[in-house]
């Protein structure tokens, strides 16, 4: 992007292009809280996408509404998945960046909550080094859904990328205690999966909540608002 294009990108990510950004963020907060309240009652989240079918146990964990008070730009809801209840395989569509290093086409397979197979088309050696650094690095500490539909482009800046509306991300390593997560590690590595394609979906206890990158209920965050 040119400097002008990037300026517009950043302003739209923070809703700063609107006449009253503060009011807009309050409205975002309300919609995200409704989504978080709904997810608080669920036991399992399932993601279906390209080379992906994975289940996360979330019963009893707290979903946190990220609405601009801690990070900016913001726009996600997240929790700490149950440490031994992640099962299946996920392919991360965006390159994962950590410490200035990139890993492309990461595919992780979980069993009993732990990564049992990890592959990447680029940076695989670095990926394996990171997830073998301590006992908690192969276990998830965070599961999240991006809700900021003002961010539409991947830019290799995780603060922005993990918020893209219609995506999900999960972090290997340390959990945030406020979510109920208990995993401890020196690693916290967010990896983003784009769900904005036909047939890609998120289900909560078997009920569709997001399909083709769009939430199914109008009271949850939506593009163009």
Cα–Cα distance for residue pair 74/222, rounded to 1 Å? 15
Question: Which pLDDT value is given to residue 223?
Answer: 86
Domain annotation covers residue 221: no
Q: Which residues, at least 6 apart from 66, have a Cβ–Cβ distance to it below 8 Å?
A: 32, 74, 75, 76, 77, 78
Please name which of 190, 219, 198, 168 lies closest in space to residue 47, comparing C-alpha atoms: 168
Q: Which residues, at least 6 apart from 135, have a Cβ–Cβ distance to it below 8 Å?
A: 185
Domain annotation covers residue 108: yes
Count: domains in the chain: 1
Domain annotation covers residue 224: no
Domain annotation covers residue 113: yes
Domain annotation covers residue 98: yes
The pair of structure tokens assigned to 27 is 């409205």
pLDDT band at 43 (very low <50, low <70, confident <90, very high): very high
Matching residue, tokens 């695989």: 124
Of all residues in the chain, the percent with pLDDT exceeding 70 is 100
pTM, full prediction? 0.95
Domain that holds residue 190: 3-215
Cα–Cα distance for residue pair 106/217, rounded to 1 Å? 31
| Structural Rg of the chain based on CA atoms | 17
Domain annotation covers residue 220: no
Domain annotation covers residue 49: yes
Question: Which pLDDT value is given to residue 117?
Answer: 98
Give the tens place of pLDDT for each residue, 132-160. 999 999 999 999 999 999 999 999 999 99
Give the tens place of pLDDT for each residue, 50-67. 999 999 999 999 999 999
pLDDT band at 38 (very low <50, low <70, confident <90, very high): very high
Domain annotation covers residue 74: yes
Residue 5 has pLDDT above 90, yes or no: yes
Average pLDDT on 166-186 reads: 97
Question: Which pLDDT value is given to residue 152?
Answer: 93
pLDDT band at 224 (very low <50, low <70, confident <90, very high): confident
At residue 202's C-alpha, the angle toward residues 200 and 208, to 5°, is: 105
């Amino acid at each position: 992007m040119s400097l002008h294009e990037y300026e517009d990108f950043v302003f739209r990510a923070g809703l700063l292009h609107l006449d009253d950004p503060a009011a807009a963020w309050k409205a975002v907060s309300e919609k995200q809280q409704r989504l978080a309240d709904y997810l608080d009652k669920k036991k399992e989240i399932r993601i279906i996408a390209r080379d992906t079918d994975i289940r996360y146990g979330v019963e009893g964990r707290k979903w946190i509404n990220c609405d601009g008070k801690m990070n900016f730009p913001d726009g996600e809801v997240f929790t700490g998945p149950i440490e031994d209840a992640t099962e299946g395989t996920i392919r991360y569509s965006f390159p994962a960046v950590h410490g200035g290093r990139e890993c492309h086409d990461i595919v992780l397979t979980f069993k009993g909550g732990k990564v049992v197979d990890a592959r990447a088309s680029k940076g695989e050696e670095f990926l394996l080094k990171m997830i073998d650094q301590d006992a908690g690095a192969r276990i998830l500490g965070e599961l999240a859904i991006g809700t900021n539909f003002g961010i539409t482009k991947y830019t290799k800046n995780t603060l922005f990328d993990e918020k893209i509306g219609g995506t999900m991300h999960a972090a290997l390593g340390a959990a945030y205690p406020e979510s109920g997560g208990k995993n401890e590690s020196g690693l916290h590595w967010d990896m983003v999966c784009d769900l904005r394609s036909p047939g890609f979906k998120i289900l909560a206890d078997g009920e569709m909540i997001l399909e083709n990158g769009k939430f199914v209920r109008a009271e949850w965050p939506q593009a163009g608002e």
